[in-house]
Amino acid sequence: MNKKITLMGMSQNELEDYCLSNDFPKFHGDQIFRWLYKNNNQELENVSNIPKKLKEKIKNDCDINLLKIKKKSISKIDKTIKFLFETKDYKFIESVSMIDSDRHTVCISSQIGCNVDCDFCATGKMGIDRNLKVGEIVEQLIEVKKNTNIPITNIVFMGMGEPFLNYRNVIESCKIFTNQKAFNLGTKRITISTAGVLPQIDLFIKEKHKYKLAVSLNAPNDLIRDKIMPINKKWNINKLMLSLKNYNFFRSRVIMFEYVLLNGINDSVENAIELSKLLKNFNCKVNLIPFNQILGNYKRSEDTTINKFAETLKKYNIRVLIRWSKGEDIDAACGQLATKHES
Ligand code: SAH
Ligand code: SF4
Mean pLDDT rounded to a whole number for the chain: 92
CATH of the domain at 298: 3.20.20.70
Q: Are residues 27 and 96 in the same domain?
A: no
Residues 184/189/193/196 CA torsion (nearest 10 deg): 100
Is 32 near ligand 1, meaning CB less than 6 Å away?
no
Mean pLDDT to the nearest integer, 69-95: 93
At residue 341, does pLDDT exceed 90? no
Please, is 35 exposed, middle or buried when counting C-beta atoms within 10 Å of its C-beta (0-12, 13-18, 19+)?
Answer: buried
Is 29 near ligand 1, meaning CB less than 6 Å away?
no
Q: Is 230 inside any structural domain? A: yes
Q: Are residues 145 and 238 in the same domain?
A: yes
Q: Are residues 9 and 138 in the same domain?
A: no
At residue 343, does pLDDT exceed 60? no
Mean pLDDT to the nearest integer, 186-196: 97
- What distance in Å separates the CA atoms of residue 178 and residue 22, rounded to the nearest whole number? 28
At residue 238, does pLDDT exceed 70? yes
Q: Is 128 inside any structural domain? A: yes
Q: Are residues 308 and 210 in the same domain?
A: yes
Q: What is the pLDDT of residue 296?
A: 77
Q: Are residues 147 and 244 in the same domain?
A: yes
Least confident of 167-171, 196-200, 336-340: 336-340
Q: Is 160 inside any structural domain? A: yes
Q: Are residues 161 and 251 in the same domain?
A: yes
Q: What is the pLDDT of residue 214?
A: 97
Mean pLDDT to the nearest integer, 162-179: 98
Q: Do 42 and 100 form a contact (C-beta atoms < 8 A)?
A: no
Is 162 near ligand 1, meaning CB less than 6 Å away?
yes
Q: Are residues 81 and 54 in the same domain?
A: no
At residue 277, does pLDDT exceed 60? yes
Q: How confident is the model at residue 340 (pLDDT cuts 50, 70, 90)?
A: low
CATH of the domain at 16: 1.10.150.530
Which residue is closest in CA terms to ligand 1's atom 1? Answer: 162
Q: How confident is the model at residue 264 (pLDDT cuts 50, 70, 90)?
A: very high
Q: Is 318 inside any structural domain? A: yes
Share of the chain above pLDDT 70, in %: 94
3-state SS, the chain, equals CCCCEECCCCCHHHHHHHHHHCCCCCHHHHHHHHHHHCCCCCCHHHCCCCCHHHHHHHHHHEECCCEEEEEEEECCCCCCEEEEEEECCCCEEEEEEEEECCEEEEECCCEEEECCCCCCCHHHHCEEEEECCHHHHHHHHHHHHHHHCCCCCEEEECCCCCHHHCHHHHHHHHHHHHCCCCCCCCHHHEEEEECCCHHHHHHHHHCCCCCEEEEECCCCCHHHHHHHCCHHHHCCHHHHHHHHHHHHHHHCCCEEEEEEEECCCCCCHHHHHHHHHHHCCCCEEEEEEECCCCCCCCCECCHHHHHHHHHHHHHCCCEEEECCCCCHHHCCCCCCCCCHHHC
Q: What is the pLDDT of residue 48?
A: 83
Q: Which ligand sits closest to the CA of 324?
A: 1
Mean pLDDT to the nearest integer, 328-339: 70
Tell which of 63, 80, 100 closes a domain: 63
- What distance in Å separates the CA atoms of residue 323 and residue 226, rounded to the nearest whole number? 24
- What distance in Å separates the CA atoms of residue 196 and residue 129, rounded to the nearest whole number? 20
Q: Which ligand sits closest to the CA of 159?
A: 1
Q: What is the pLDDT of residue 101?
A: 86
Q: Which atom of ligand 1 is nearest to the CA of 116?
A: 1
Q: Are residues 310 and 220 in the same domain?
A: yes
Q: How confident is the model at residue 276 (pLDDT cuts 50, 70, 90)?
A: very high
Range of the domain at 24: 5-63
Q: Is 342 inside any structural domain? A: no
Mean pLDDT to the nearest integer, 315-322: 97
Q: What is the pLDDT of residue 317?
A: 97
pLDDT tens across 17-73, in order? 999 999 999 999 999 999 999 876 577 887 888 899 999 999 999 988 999 999 999
pTM, rounded to two decimals: 0.95
Q: What is the pLDDT of residue 2?
A: 57
Tell which of 63, 90, 110 closes a domain: 63
Q: How far is the CA of 22 from the centre of ligand 1 (A)?
A: 45
Please, is 203 exposed, middle or buried when counting C-beta atoms within 10 Å of its C-beta (0-12, 13-18, 19+)?
Answer: middle
Is 218 near ligand 1, meaning CB less than 6 Å away?
yes
Q: Are residues 43 and 172 in the same domain?
A: no
Q: How far is the CA of 154 from the centre of ligand 1 (A)?
A: 18
Is 123 near ligand 2, meaning CB less than 6 Å away?
yes
Q: Do 44 and 50 form a contact (C-beta atoms < 8 A)?
A: yes
- What distance in Å separates the CA atoms of residue 152 and residue 95, rounded to the nearest whole number? 13
Q: How far is the CA of 116 from the centre of ligand 2 (A)?
A: 6
Q: Are residues 126 and 266 in the same domain?
A: yes
List residues bridging with 76 in a β-sheet: none
Q: Are residues 212 and 317 in the same domain?
A: yes
- What distance in Å separates the CA atoms of residue 223 and residue 6, rounded to the nearest whole number? 47
pLDDT tens across 110-156, in order? 999 999 999 999 888 889 999 999 999 999 999 999 999 789 999 99
Count structural domains, the chain: 2
Mean pLDDT to the nearest integer, 317-335: 81
Q: Do 313 and 278 form a contact (C-beta atoms < 8 A)?
A: no
Q: Are residues 13 and 103 in the same domain?
A: no
Tell which of 48, 63, 78 closes a domain: 63
